Amino acid sequence: MDMDKRLKLNSLNVYDANNSVTQNYSFTYEQSVMLPPYLSRAFDFWGYYNGTNNGSATPENMLPINYQGHGYGGDRHADNGSFSKACILTEIKYPTGGKTKFNFERAYVEGLFDGPVNSGGYIGALRISKITNYLKDNEIANIKSYVYSGPKFNKITTEFYSYLQKYIDYYDVPSPIANGANDYCWVFYKRNIISSSPIAPHDLAPGLAIAYSDVTEYNGTLSDNLGSTKYYYSTPDLLLYTGFIRDLHTFQNDKGNYEPKLIGKIIKSKTGSLISEEYNSYTDHFEHEFKTGINIIRTLDYIPRHRNSDLPVYATSPTGQIAPFSTNDYIQSIRAFDTKAYQKVSLLDYSIKKEYDHLNPNKFIKDSTAYSYNQHNLMIQQTTTVNSKGENIQTQYKYPYDFSSVQPYQTMLSKNILTPVIEQTISNTTLNKQLQKTQTSYKDWGNNIIEPEIVKGQMDAASPLENRIRYLSYDSKTNPLTVKKEVGNPLTYLWGYNKTLPIAAVENAKYVSETINNDLNVSYSGLQIPPGNINQELGTFTITEEKDYKIDRIYERYPENYSVMYQTSFQNMNNSSGTVFFTDTTPASGNFYTYTSPSVHLKPGTYKVKLTNIGYNGYQGQIENNFNFTVYNAVEASVPFHTSFEEESVDISTAYAITGKVSHTGAYIVNLPPAALGYDKVIVSYWGKSGASSPWQYVENTVTLGSSQNYSIGSNYTYIDEVRVYPVDARMKTYTYDPFYKTQTSIMNENGQTEYYDYDAFGRLKEVYIMEGNVKKTIKTTNYHYKP
């Protein structure tokens, strides 16, 4: 295996639902210069290839001057981009036929290193200098060029890579001792420790070696362009180390990724005249530094002499004394830190925007907006805008915290639901006039659903708040089911595709539903069972549809005064992965017990119910048992109701469908709720197809509701589709989607007329058409001109 190779991404394919490639992207890299071997030391201070022949990664310029040029260190300076560009991305080709080419450059800055001479250098990663976009025929579509100003960076000093290690040692003076001197002396010596990696990061922020306060983007080249946009950004603070860097931990000052703020934007025309200006001001909120309680350590090594025998050691006394080998015995020290976390949020306080008259650059329209924030959720509390007339337009926002003394807002706060706007008021404060107020009242609907119930509106302050919109119900994923204007008919939405997309809109209908249990019963009576392991079959039942079911287990046993443990299994004879097991223990008193399991997922097949073990507590004889097991799934009987079977998995066909991609095979049961819920008559409609050569036929029946019922449809057809149930005086429109792109594929209107939507391989609308019999009639086509 060649350990010096690198991986690169050559192409990216996007597949559709049929596993066909619909989009292909390809990538080209700079290969005129290749990367060195993995273990090469030819890299700069930021890890980029610099084309040197370094035998050491220790920075040469960090060594004491008298050790430089003797092979102890290597050249870690960054190059001008000739080598660091190795294997960088240079081109992306798009599925449309276009492509984008990238040109890079290396930044050069003055004052990067210590010293008045040659203190400048190249820094950090490559930056974009030009982006060229091409059409599919290799024609240039546009060019973007970039100029950078106001660089900010941390100077690379020797302290990042070296530190002075000092020793003090007790030295015995051998006999004879002259002139009555002491028989010992103290030896002081020191050495410079040079590291190939920085002791602490010298980047401004993780991965950010340099930042720029302003960047100019030209719409073209620098000399030939259609205008420019100059962006001004905030930049991070320079590092400020108050102690010795050698004592720090690598991550002690890591404050996370820096997110620059847009301070200003100036757009100019080709001639250099102003088109628009924008200036923003920000303020830091909740700035806080606190200890995390997590300790990190850094080992301060006292390197023994023999490990650095190439570096001499200096002693202050006695003259010429060298460090003894006993430095091996110096105790290594550990520096511990209680790490800190930093909290801060920077929010926009003020924004000024100017739009200039292109005929008269001295004329402009100015808008200014001031912002204040709610201190409990950091959402906008108030905006004040000065319009072109010089009037102050103020918008105030209130949130759950502002109504925390009443429900359901107390519950919303406890669930950390902080950001919904409960009330919005717009006023002209110059004229002291309210322009509009909107208030949204929330309700706790149960099942952890807290959503709007009533939207109220008010114009001037003297008028009362009036109900405008009322929400009547939601589904389990908080999608609105029925909504109505206060004066108007209800509108019901039905949701499909895992309740992410609306599949029906029903005018003049309120959603009503009732849960019905479909039962499968298995029982076995009068069974005499001895204690211990057994294997008794109790009956069978069949599951035809894969879904979640509940299983009730009812035990009746004699004698009554002993605790009994039952172990039963429901074995799928067609699919072993569908087998489930239960262990139930009855109390000592009583003889009739019911246990209900949480929902279990059962796969289709025939299930055999078996008693596999029974245990008695304190009873040795036989026991007489009656067993009754009920398997059921809860189904919802609702009006309105719609299915085009796109989410079904059993009794379906993908060969024929009037909408979507799926139809149902054979008869179908529609669960209808009782009339007591509000409707006495409903329309049940569907489309049926008898065979491959038969046309789709529309079937409609009016059904009178009484108690809840299972209504069978489609027995005369091989395929059925587009089932609808709605009140007799309502109107229903239905929708299907491409589940991959989440795009609409059909709309069937109230009269059964269907519009079909066809898309190209990129998910873009290509054609809208209808079917008149077997004849396709195109309503609209869209052709796309390929662009990168």
Contact present, 396 and 382 (Cβ < 8 Å):
yes
Tokens describing residue 271: 């001639």
Residue 320 DSSP symbol: T
Structure tokens, 165: 């290690």
Average pLDDT over residues 213-224: 97
Higher pLDDT, 389 or 25: 25
Find the mean pLDDT for residues 142-168. Answer: 87
Residues 104 and 202 in one domain: yes
Are residue 570 and residue 708 in the same domain, yes or no?
A: no
630 and 677 inside one domain: no
Co-location of 572 and 711 in the same domain: no
Q: Tell me the β-bridge partners of 369.
A: 351, 385
More confident residue, 609 or 662: 662
Res 309: pLDDT: 41
> In this predicted structure, what is the pLDDT of residue 240?
72
Nearest to 354 by CA among 274, 419, 416, 245: 274
- Find residue 700's DSSP bridge partners: 685
- Which CATH number covers residue 591? 2.60.120.660
With a cut of 60, say whether residue 64 has pLDDT above it: yes
pLDDT digits (tens, 9 = 90+) for 95-146: 988 999 999 999 999 999 876 556 899 999 999 999 999 998 789 999 999 9
Spell out the residues 6+ positions from residue 3 whose beta carbon is closer than 8 angstroms to its own: 37, 38
| SS3 per-residue string spanning 7-64 | CCCCEEEEECCCCCEEEEEEEEECCCCCCCCCCCCCECCCCCECCCCCCCCCEHHHCC
Note whether residue 749 is domain-resident.
yes
Instruction: Give the best-scoring range by mean pLDDT among 9-13, 18-22, 633-637.
Output: 9-13
Say whether both 438 and 564 belong to one domain. Answer: no
Nearest to 748 by CA among 687, 659, 671: 659
In tens, the pLDDT along 515-540 reads 877 777 676 666 677 777 778 888 88
Nearest residue to 681 (alpha-carbon basis) of 700, 702, 699: 702
Higher pLDDT, 552 or 52: 52
Residues 6+ apart with CB under 8 A from 559: 591, 619, 623
Is residue 163's pLDDT more than 70? yes
Q: What is the pLDDT of residue 302?
A: 55
Residue 84 has pLDDT above 80, yes or no: yes
Is there a contact between 516 and 708 (Cβ–Cβ < 8 Å)? yes
142-159 average pLDDT score: 94
Residue 615 resides in a domain: yes
| Poorest-pLDDT segment among 124-128, 467-471, 519-523, 662-666 | 519-523
Q: Are residues 389 and 524 both part of a single domain?
A: no
Q: Is residue 318 scored above 50 in pLDDT?
A: no
Whether residue 232 is found in the same domain as residue 294:
yes
pLDDT of residue 596: 82
**Which secondary structure element, helix H or strand E, spans residue 275, and what is its range?**
strand 274-300
- Tell me: do 94 and 225 sit in the same domain: yes
In DSSP notation, 463-516 reads SPPEEEEEEEEE-TTS-EEEEEESSS-EEEEEEETTTTEEEEEEET---EEEEE
Q: How far is CA 151 from CA 131, 203, 208, 235, 345, in A?
A: 21, 13, 12, 9, 24
pLDDT tier for residue 305 given thresholds of 50, 70 and 90 = very low
Q: What b/e string do you get for 181-206 counting C-beta neighbours within 10 Å, with b at 16 or more?
A: eeeeeebebebbbbebebbbbbbbbe
Tell whether omega for the bond before 318 is within 30 degrees of 0, i.e. cis.
yes
- Same domain? For 457 and 530 the reply is no
Chain mean pLDDT for the chain = 86
Please give the residue that has the higher pLDDT: either 601 or 753.
Answer: 753
Are residue 629 and residue 655 in the same domain, yes or no?
no
Q: How far apart are CA 168 and CA 334, in angstroms?
A: 19
Q: Looking at the domain assignment, is residue 352 inside a domain?
A: no
Rounded distance, CA 475 to CA 412, Å? 19
Query: What are 735-788's pLDDT values in tens digits?
Result: 999 988 889 999 999 999 999 999 987 788 999 999 988 899 999 999 876 554
In this prediction, residue 312 has a pLDDT band, given cuts at 50, 70 and 90, of very low
Closest CA to 274 of 361, 172, 171, 187: 361
> CB of 762 within 8 A of CB of 24?
no
Query: Rounded mean pLDDT of 637-646?
Result: 96
On whether residue 408 sits in a domain, the answer given is yes
**Where do we find the tokens 């005249």?**
273
Residue-range definition of the domain harbouring residue 553: 515-635
320 lies in the same domain as 392: no
pLDDT exceeds cutoff 70 at 13: yes
- Domain-embedded: residue 661: yes
Q: What is the pLDDT of residue 501?
A: 97
Beta strands in 617-708 (DSSP E): 623-639, 641-643, 652-653, 663-665, 668-672, 681-689, 697-704
Do 131 and 268 sit in the same domain of this protein? yes
How many CA within 13 A on the CB side of residue 415? 15
Q: Among residues 578, 607, 635, which one ends one of the domains? A: 635
Average pLDDT over residues 654-666: 96
CA distance 165 to 611: 78
Contacts of 109 (CB under 8 A, 6+ apart): 120, 121, 122, 123, 151, 153, 210
CATH number, domain with residue 693: 2.60.120
Query: pLDDT tens digit string along 236-256?
Result: 988 776 666 666 666 666 677
- Whether 487 maps to a domain, the answer reads no
Cβ 662 vs Cβ 645: under 8 Å: yes
Contact between residue 270 and residue 227 where contact means Cβ atoms under 8 Å apart: yes
Q: Which of 327, 344, 361 is the last residue of a domain?
A: 344
Question: Would the pLDDT of 201 be above 90?
Answer: no
C-beta neighbour count of 253 within 10 angstroms: 15
Confidence of residue 301 (pLDDT cuts 50, 70, 90): low
- Work out the pLDDT band at 303, boundaries 50, 70, 90: low
Specify the number of domains making up the chain: 4
Interior angle at CA 150, CA 146 and CA 153, nearest 5: 110
**Tens of pLDDT, residues 473-507:** 999 999 999 999 999 999 999 999 999 999 999 99
pLDDT at 288: 87
pLDDT computed for residue 622 by the predictor = 75
Least confident of 39-53, 391-405, 422-436, 592-606: 592-606
Region 215-230 average pLDDT: 97
Evaluate if residue 152 carries a pLDDT over 60: yes
pLDDT band at residue 325 under the 50/70/90 scheme: very low
Residue 53 lies in a domain: yes
Residue indicated by tokens 């404060």: 429
Domain's final residue, options 608, 635, 662: 635
Distance between CA atoms of residues 385 and 464, nearest Å: 26
Q: Is the pLDDT of residue 338 over 80?
A: no
What's the confidence (pLDDT) of residue 75?
93
Q: What is the CA radius of gyration of the chain?
A: 39
Could you tell me if residue 363 is inside a domain?
A: no
Percent of the chain whose pLDDT exceeds 90: 55
pLDDT at site 119: 85
* pLDDT band at 311; cut points 50, 70, 90: very low
